[in-house]
Amino acid sequence: MDSKLEQFKLKYQQGQALLDRGQYRSSVKILEEAKSLINLSSKLGGDIQLSLVTAYQGVDRLDDAIALCEDLTRHPNLEIRQQSQRILYILKAPQLKRPEAWMTKIPTTKSDDSQTPRYVQAKPATKPIKKTSLDLEDITQMDTKDNGFIGLALGLFIIIIGGLIWLS
């Protein structure tokens, strides 16, 4: 039984590493193998299945991801149920159609022309910022004479505070 747990941990770590690197097909294979080595009702069983949901998304198996996530909403572990409900909400959200003008076509390296072109979202075109020179005013041309307002305000403040203290 101990070797089965060790195999699970090894496969789970491998699957997570592949998932983190974006190698979704390999990750699905390894995570499915790990899933068969653990009790699916346990916390670890729920964790592996949540990772598998993400991997399914990466290989465009959205139906499988939704089905597994729906199963996980009835998992015995509360944390797994809550996470799966949040993920399921995202998975079932309507997909917005992006105009092709927002996408950039990336040619494939394969010679097979029957494949559909792949698109990635393009960065919005931005206009270069024009640097304007700062027109600084000549301080020698300015009237910098003190008009006495600060002194007057300070004097009134002291008189009011003094009067309040004297009256109390």
2-91 has which fold? Answer: 1.25.40
Residue 164 has pLDDT above 70, yes or no: yes
Return the closest-CA partner of residue 31 out of 18, 44, 43, 15: 15
The domain spans of the chain are 2-91
pLDDT in tens, 125-150: 566 666 666 666 777 777 767 778 88
Residue with more model confidence, 149 or 166: 166
Q: Which residues of 26-35 are buried (b: 16+ CB within 10 A; e: fewer)?
A: bbbbbbeebb
| Dihedral (CA of 122, 127, 133, 135) sign | negative
- Asked whether residue 110 carries a pLDDT value surpassing 70, the answer given is no
pLDDT of residue 51: 92
Within 13 Å, how many C-alpha atoms sit on residue 97's CB side?
A: 2
Taking alpha carbons only, the member of 77, 78, 5, 89 closest to residue 53 is: 89
pTM for the model stands at: 0.56
